[in-house]
Structure 1
Amino acid sequence: MYRLMLVEDDEKLSALVAEYLAGYEFSVDVVSRGDAALPRFRELRPDIVVLDLMLPGLDGMLVCRQLRAISNVPILILTAREDTFDEVSGLEQGADDYINKPVQPRVLLARLRALLRRGQPATRSDDLVFGAFQLSRENRTVTWRGRPVSLNSTEFKLLLVLAESAGHVMSRNDILLKMRGIEFDGLDRSIDNCVSRLRRKLDDNDGERIKTVWGEGYLFSPSAWDA
């Protein structure tokens, strides 16, 4: 599932986009203010950004410039502005594509897929890095605060599932489906036991890095891994 950050202050449009894209392997995180986009981007580390231009707090052009200064993540501008100057300016600020509102959902989906095919986003590489935490998909290794962490196969798979969905709550059912292809039966405590082992090995005794969201599941907190 791709993580998409939607910077849009129109709540109705945001809800429609999020609902539609959820059916096509996109997890959508909505930011409603321009001045909140950069901090949320650093925390979320999305695979792609959809950005409105007319935003409260900070103009979308400036947001685009800020994001491009720190990342090569694909940026698609989705705006009601129809002036050619705005389109040229947006692309010059670092956007990869520019679409005028209103847009058909299937057209937006096609543009997003095309952008993702053009290059491998940094967050989809073999390494997942959050502060002093690093996980290598290729080598199946985990490093925390500069030292290797010894994990068995189940522990690594669970940590990978959680880290790939950093910032999003994963239910036990979702975790088991990704790890084993089976559904949670309501009695299986293997996930809870494995999380407890991971917390011990990752010095997370207070559960701030791998958080328990009561009644929902677990959340890998992307901003809690500073050394």
Structure 2
Amino acid sequence: MVVHRRPLISSESRMLRARILIAEDEVDFAAPLAEFLTELGYEVENVETAIALDVALRACPRDLILLDLNLPGQSGFEFLGDSALIGKAAVIILTGSACAIDRIVGLEAGADDYLIKPVDLRELAARIGSVLARRLGRQRKIVSFERASADLSAARILYPDGQTAPLSAGEVALIRAFAENPHHVLDRGRLLELAPAETVEALDGAIDNRIARLRRKLGTAQIVTLRGRGFRYQPG
């Protein structure tokens, strides 16, 4: 059993800290998944057997369980039938089985979602956010760009290969400003109001440098410079 309890990135993500239990016996899959979710601000624990899963849930309730259907000791389908043990936790099945019947049975047994391994980690992050928002009212703001996504709650960039990178408070504020004003021209003054600089460099030209760095970090061309007018976010 491994417990991951890193400090969160921001005060906003601190309010959204949800407890996730990964029930998965493939360590090569579970370990990087736990690391990824921890970086997104979740409190994560992973177990490798049905017995360990039972013990973990009796010791402490969880907000969400990522469940492999083939845990040693008990079928995931049997586990889904134990509503007293699951409690109020949401369940997302992560399995190597692409069988349509397994998917139907899993969802009818009470799972909130069903994903087939290998899974795109950005998609998994979005599914987890959606399930937690629907079941527990825990909202996470994720903004998608061409080659990466920005999780504003955890202040992280999510790349297609599963890597992540931190976002500063100023970068989070910039992305939020653009995401909340799609297709609108925002001049430099307005951007400085919505996303104040974190240092004393808050001069007119500094916002250009901040946006240029953010574009490179995100690998995006969707934040467009309009000469003499400002900037515009053009989502795909």
For normalisation by structure 2, the TM-score amounts to: 0.49
One of 22, 36, 40 as aligned partner of 2:52: 36
Cα distance per residue 1:117-138 (max 9 Å; x no partner): 00227xx9xxxxxxxxxxxxxx
| Aligned equivalent of 2:88 | 72
Moved over 4 A (4+): 67-70
CA distance in 2, matches of 1:29, 1:70: 15
Say which of 134, 140, 154 aligns to 1:118. Answer: 134
1:184 maps to none
Decide whether aligned partners of structure 1 residues 30 and 112 sit closer, same or farther in structure 2, where only a CA change above 3 A counts: same
1:20 corresponds to 2:36: yes
Work out whether residues 80 and 100 of structure 1, in 8 Å CA contact, stay in contact via their aligned partners in 2.
yes
Partner secondary structure for residue 53 of structure 2: helix
Q: Point out where structure 1 has 5 or more consecutive residues left out of the alignment.
A: 125-227
Report how many residues are paired: 122
Quickly say closer, same or farther: Cα 1:10–1:67, change in 2 above 3 A.
Answer: farther
Distance 1:33 1:67, change over 3 A: farther
Q: CA RMSD in A?
A: 1.7
Partner in structure 2 of residue 157 of structure 1: none
Query: 1:89: which partner in 2?
Result: 105
Is residue 37–residue 63 contact of structure 1 (8 Å, CA) maintained in 2?
A: no
Preserved contact between residue 5 and residue 46 of structure 1 (Cα < 8 Å)? yes
Deviations 1:118-164 (A, max 9, x none): 0227xx9xxxxxxxxxxxxxxxxxxxxxxxxxxxxxxxxxxxxxxxx
Runs of 5+ consecutive residues of structure 2 not aligned to the other structure: 1-16, 139-236
Does the 8 A contact of 2:19 with 2:63 survive in 1?
Answer: yes
Distance in 1 (alpha carbons) for counterparts of 2:65 and 2:95: 13
Aligned to 1:62: 78
1:78, CA displacement in angstroms? 0.3
Change (3 A) 1:93 1:68: farther
TM-score, normalisation: structure 1? 0.51
Write the deviation string for residues 161-220 of structure 1: whole angstroms up to 9, x where unpaired. xxxxxxxxxxxxxxxxxxxxxxxxxxxxxxxxxxxxxxxxxxxxxxxxxxxxxxxxxxxx
When Rg is computed on C-alpha atoms for both structures, the one with the higher figure is 2
- Determine the C-alpha separation between the residues in 2 that align with 1:20 and 1:27: 11
Specify the alignment match of 2:66 in structure 1.
50
Q: Contact (CA 8 Å) 1:79, 1:100: kept in 2 or not?
A: yes
State the shift of 1:94 in Å. 0.8
* 8 Å CA contact 1:38, 1:63 repeated in 2: no
